[in-house]
Amino acid sequence: MLKDRGSRFRVGVDSGGTFTDICIFDEEKSEVFVWKISSTPSDPSEGISEGVAQGLGAMPGGGDPASVVYFGHGTTVGTNALIQGRGADCGLITTEGFRDVLEIGRQKRPELYSLQSVKAPILATRDKRMEVRERVLFDGTIAQELNEDDVRNAVRELKAKGVKAIAICTLFSFIEPGHEKRIREIVLEEIPDAFLSVSHEIAPEFREYERTSTTVVNAYLGPVMRTYLDRLTPRLLEAGISAEPHLTQSNGGVISCETAKNQPVRTVLSGPAAGVTAAVELGRATGIENLITFDMGGTSSDVALIDRGQPQMANDIVVHGYPLKVPMLDIHTVGAGGGSIAYVDNGLLKVGPRSAGANPGPVCYGLGNEEPTVTDANIVLGILNQTHLLNGRMAIDAEASKQAVARLAEQLGIGVMEAAQGIIRVVTANMAKAIRVISVERGYDPRDYTMLAFGGAGPIHAARLAKELEIPKLLIPKHPGIMCAIGLLQADLRTNISLTRMSPLSLEALPMIEAGFAQLRERADEWFEAEAIPPAARTLRLAIDVRYGGQAYELTIDWPEDSTGEALIKAIRERFEGAHKQLYGYIAEEEPIQATTLRVEAIGHVPKAELKRYPPAAGKAEDAIVGTRKVYLPELGSFTECPLYERERLGPGHVVAGPAVVEQMDSTTFILPGQKATVDPYLNLLIEWKA
């Protein structure tokens, strides 16, 4: 096949636990081509290189790998290593008397009333946590100079134990990092190939436990991520792609391959963050700026809230039991995906978080799994295609799904259809609970938002989930199963820099605060230069963490850059009080406000894949019907013959009334009775009903 050498391609790849999604944007034609293959969990780079090669080859006219000018990548390598405990053997060097901070934590149980709750494993065991004599005070003065003999002895002991990933976290290094810098020099003298994670670079903020945890997690993931990326780059070169990979980080931006190797903790929510980035762009294009994103894949569901076009952010978050002090999109994850396994526990039906993953996958894949999954339940109910997925590239065994659900039904003492629908009800309840966490518990009413559903399994479950939450509108994008990969081509280069500077919010403190921001601007300029971002493509966003005096938690407030003096103090207070009332429901007008941490977000704008508008459809929606299928509807208690629509044949202006099933290569959309789907100019499906 003749390769198209007249185009330039931007490629986005989201490597998930079940599928690897590929999005290819042709810059010359402004067209998007999508592809999807099964993931290769043993070596994700293999599935990525193979998927990109297949995707380029399947494009009309064929795509030349040498024409790929940008390669964006969302990965679950760091997340999976953290969940499965497959990180590096790591050690910690810290101030004398503080090695047990990591284990003591906040002295809070994960679940207040549970006697069976289990803490996440400690990543640096006590025998590998070394203390050295040194002490920096809260104001940066040196109370005790660093004892370099202690450092050398500690490093040699760690080396003897086989440790090559070392976290360095000393007291108040976020104010005065000199001792940490010297410790790093000594470690590299003793172990030149050690992976180092230094707290003043990874998390330069106050709160010892969270800062130590973040630094240790970064060390734990470092060698794993470095090995993975060192394997990925040669594979891409073999496939003819010379563009350096850029990885999505948890804040929604992308970072270079080299930065990801050194700071892998920033990629823990890499894949889901790209989906939120794509959702923001879609919201801007359609004019729907209040969105709740629902991303359901094979192993989990990720939800987030976008308010007035801005995704919610969190500066510290707990991921699988480990506190991380890294700016992230406020994404809540639950173990509810298409591959989530249904089972009986003490007579009760439960679904997830255990997943069948990509291999063996759901029972219908025929790869050895015999436990029913959410996907198998959808096959039994008739919602999913009964013979194949991925436009025929992946055969499935519907009879095997029915047998697996029948075995589960027998254990429960109910009918097969009741068991299948029960699986859907349980997983829907799990996902509804997750959405309430990021909406109701944050002071937002989900009924005021439109749900944007994507991921391979999202559009299958979205109608029931939105109905459960009384959300009146549901948006299904053109390529829902590839949304995260598309987001990779719509993300800017981005980094977050912070500096703790505690002081009352007052006129007297402004010079110190402004000096702190000056330091952060200098560091941002260094990052811009390192990433070769031209001045015209640079943007800085300033923010400050503030709280009432005596409070234990802060709120991040945008810095009013157009104000000075008293007006500046007043503007910050007003913004803080608005955010405080939104979250907590009250304002304490008489209480003083305290500033804690200064933040700068540096953004390097890059070319993006633009969303394309399409003209109104010429034919009728009925022209897109390719058959019918019997689907079990619990509302009726029986099977109903539902029309099957081919998504590619639907155009702007077409209306599809439920019940109906809309199929496409990367996903399936299920429309309930009483719901109506309208195709918009961007080929999204807008599903509406009276809540």
Write out the H or E segment, with its range, that includes residue 530: helix 510-530
pLDDT digits (tens, 9 = 90+) for 479-496: 998 898 888 888 888 888
Alpha-carbon distance of 150 to 133, in angstroms, equals: 7
Alpha-carbon distance of 368 to 352, in angstroms, equals: 18
Instruction: Give pLDDT, residue 6.
Output: 54
pLDDT category at 627 given cuts 50, 70, 90 is: very high
Write out the H or E segment, with its range, that includes residue 71: strand 68-75
Instruction: Give pLDDT, residue 1.
Output: 30
Domains of the chain: which residue ranges?
9-82+228-267, 87-226, 270-337+428-488, 340-426, 493-604, 621-671
Tell me the pairing of strands 660-663 and 638-646: parallel
Same fold, 9-82+228-267 and 270-337+428-488: yes
Instruction: Give pLDDT, residue 5.
Output: 47
Instruction: Give pLDDT, residue 350.
Output: 93
Alpha-carbon distance of 164 to 176, in angstroms, equals: 26
Of 552, 593, 591, 590, give the one whose Cα is nearest residue 572: 593
Pick the CATH number of 270-337+428-488 from 3.40.640.10, 3.20.20.80, 1.10.8.60, 3.30.420.40: 3.30.420.40
pLDDT category at 178 given cuts 50, 70, 90 is: very high
Of 183, 172, 120, give the one whose Cα is nearest residue 147: 183
Alpha-carbon distance of 304 to 658, in angstroms, equals: 27
Of 421, 425, 496, 461, give the one whose Cα is nearest residue 303: 461
Is 3.30.1490 the CATH classification of the domain at 493-604? Answer: yes
Question: Omega before 659 cis (within 30°)?
Answer: yes
Alpha-carbon distance of 453 to 462, in angstroms, equals: 6
Average pLDDT over residues 210-237: 93
Instruction: Give pLDDT, residue 404.
Output: 96
The answer to whether 282 and 258 have CB atoms below 8 angstroms apart is no
Alpha-carbon distance of 617 to 680, in angstroms, equals: 10
Higher pLDDT, 99 or 254: 99
pLDDT digits (tens, 9 = 90+) for 238-257: 989 998 888 988 888 888 88
Structure tokens at 370: 């015999």
Q: What is the pTM of this model?
A: 0.86
Centroid of chain to Cα 293:
12
DSSP per residue, 182-246: HHHHHHHHH-TT-EEEEHHHH--SS-HHHHHHHHHHHHHHHHHHHHHHHHHHHHHHHTT--SPEE
User: Residue 107: is it exposed, middle or buried by C-beta count within 10 angstroms (0-12/13-18/19+)?
Assistant: exposed
What is the topology classification, in CATH, of domain 87-226? Rossmann fold (3.40.50)
Q: Which residues pair with 452 in a beta bridge?
A: 293, 475
Instruction: Give pLDDT, residue 2.
Output: 34
Which architecture, in CATH terms, is 9-82+228-267?
Answer: 2-Layer Sandwich (3.30)
Alpha-carbon distance of 516 to 512, in angstroms, equals: 6
pLDDT category at 4 given cuts 50, 70, 90 is: very low
Of 171, 177, 179, 183, give the one whose Cα is nearest residue 207: 171
Q: Name the amino acid, one letter, at 483.
A: M
- Scan for tokens 């002081």, then name that residue: 503
pLDDT digits (tens, 9 = 90+) for 535-568: 999 999 999 999 998 888 899 999 998 888 899 9
Higher pLDDT, 512 or 81: 512
Instruction: Give pLDDT, residue 691.
Output: 60
Centroid of chain to Cα 68:
25
Average pLDDT over residues 204-221: 94
